[in-house]
Structure 1
Amino acid sequence: MVQSLAKEIALQKNYLNGETIETIYFGGGTPSLLTAGEVNMLIDTVGKHHFIADGAEITLEANPDDLGAAQITALRQTSVNRFSIGIQSFFDEDLLWMNRAHKANEAETSVKRAQDAGFENITADLIYGYPLLTDAKWKQNIERMFALEIPHISAYALTVEPRTALASFIKKKQQPPVNDQQSAEQFLLLMNAMQQQRFEHYEISNYCMPGHYSRHNSNYWKGVKYLGIGPSAHSFNGETRQWNAANNALYLRELEKGSIPSETEFLTEENRLNEYIMTSLRTMWGLDLQHLEGIAAGTAAVVQKGATEFLEKEWLTGKDGKLYLTQTGKLYADHIAAELFF
């Protein structure tokens, strides 16, 4: 797999048209299983085909149970300068319910171990809105995250994906369905707690201490070009969107032949407008009406008119030609974006 990833990096070298690489992100699956040598080899391969900026943000997603002392020491010898650690919860019964391999104490230990080794730029994930999570437990999870002094926190409401074990259990009434009211209340609780700790709520699911936002993820929301490598990886260069086949065996077989099993979609003006509306509204930087005009003339007035109802409800606020979600509006972000689509 690692050799195939390197081969795809070479085959895709022209996709970004010579753009400087500002961020590299090892994500999806379990990249913390890679050895330091494999991580270095992949970064070196990127460097052979692209110019990597000095001080580029290089993130590795990690399961807490993969971050043993030896692995952290080894990764310190690579260019990785940021960890994204999937904590999810500090309660063992919740982690068991989520089918996670790690224990709550391992989550805490892995963060402290990384910090002791000199990794200061760390983000960690929490999940809310699932049946076992009372508001009291949710508050404890948030407080324990603050106690670890992590500069960036991501928090996601549990979503039930089709064709998953959880979807099947809910259908058979072996698990209760997801409670939207619970999710909304826990989201509000989270936003208030983050505000009190002076974390910036810079994107619907992401919070950081000032200046510590994820450069990589922010690029997605700002419409910056990106190249995805590996099975299921998605790429975007401003004009097209491309995605690789999800099947590992098919991916490996095609790369061996020197081709990439992928599909490409050419983005229409409407695609680009709607994508900008959806991504920009999620952020603290807001939806810039002038940017819409740059995509297609006359669109700013249409969106401004469509936003009237939400401005009156105080779900949106407008300032200097931009639209922003209010705290209440963040509960309805997807609905508002869909209503503003072309």
Structure 2
Amino acid sequence: MSHTETVGAFTDLYLPTVNGVTSTVGLWREHWSARRGPMSVVYPRVEGYEPAEDEHPVRSVRAPFFPRYRLGLPLVPDGLAAPDLVHVHTPFTVGYAGLRFARERGLPVVASYHTLLGERADRIAPRPFSDGLRSVCRGYERAFFERADRVIVPTAFARRHLLETVGADVDARVVSNGIDTDLFRPVDPSRLRSRYDLPDSPLVGYTGRHGPEKNLGEAIDAVSGTGVSLAIAGDGPARGEWEARAREADADVRFLGFLDRAELPAFYSALDAFVFPSPVETQGLVALEATACGTPVVAVDAGALTEFVIGGETGYRYRRGDVEDFRYAIRRALAERDRLSDLCVRRRSMLSVEHSVGQLAGIYDELV
């Protein structure tokens, strides 16, 4: 068996944008380069971000529907040497360029399934147009992913969705995105708590993109009238809506804004529980980060969170749309915080990116 050394990663989402895809690409690149060989990255150019060695930006324009993002032109940059294997992380223009680049050179292709495109149709178009858009998205996903030799999915839920709901005829393998467990560990949160004037217990919180699909209004409703404070970190297009909702709630809700990545372990450690009401996650890396910091997670019983939030071990789940059940799950997590925290810490090794990159290497080596 030969061993993959050089990988060309193509992604429509990359730094300086911070989200689950960009974090995974960056983390895999760092750890792959340290143990096996170079992993170059092709991505849309963003003004102000200076590429490092083996980072290859392509010209970009503002993305339709999502003005915060850049859409790269489907180009292959000059000077990109043919790697042993191509890994496409997104099914858009840069991802398509990666597929074409690989096929023209006879290279194997691995594709990652990070995002449920069709499930976001309701956020872009009203019914009945969203139904048609969802069908178009799924047809496009089928056509794109069926061109890959292997598809990597972060959870068994994502695999079922791709094979059964999208209907893609692909060889899909489950590989968790993994997290940096050297960074995400229990730490003393007192300095962060003081800096942001966080209240004493009970305190629950969330960090991540403030998009409508994250459903954070449900978390605001769940803490209203309970005496539980809610700290929300991050930013995004739905922040104004949620701030208005918080002003109407009978609750102490704090919007902290964007936190530096180095601050996140202290943020998670300051919480008695992490709340995650988003029903459209293929994995939900922030839930894994919170778990690695010893913070139990209260999550909606939908999407990939049904796998990673284990009732009575790493937290509790609640029925989607049931605010009273959400409140009950929060109460249980708070009452059992010490026991759940201990069980969360014991799972840290299973969440590490080193474990994920080892699985990734096995899949790459099958193809080279």
What range describes the TM-score normalised by the shorter chain of this pair? 0.3 to 0.5
Q: Using CA pairs under 8 Å that are at least 6 residues apart, name the structure with larger relative contact order, 1 or 2.
A: 2
Q: TM-score, normalised by structure 2?
A: 0.34
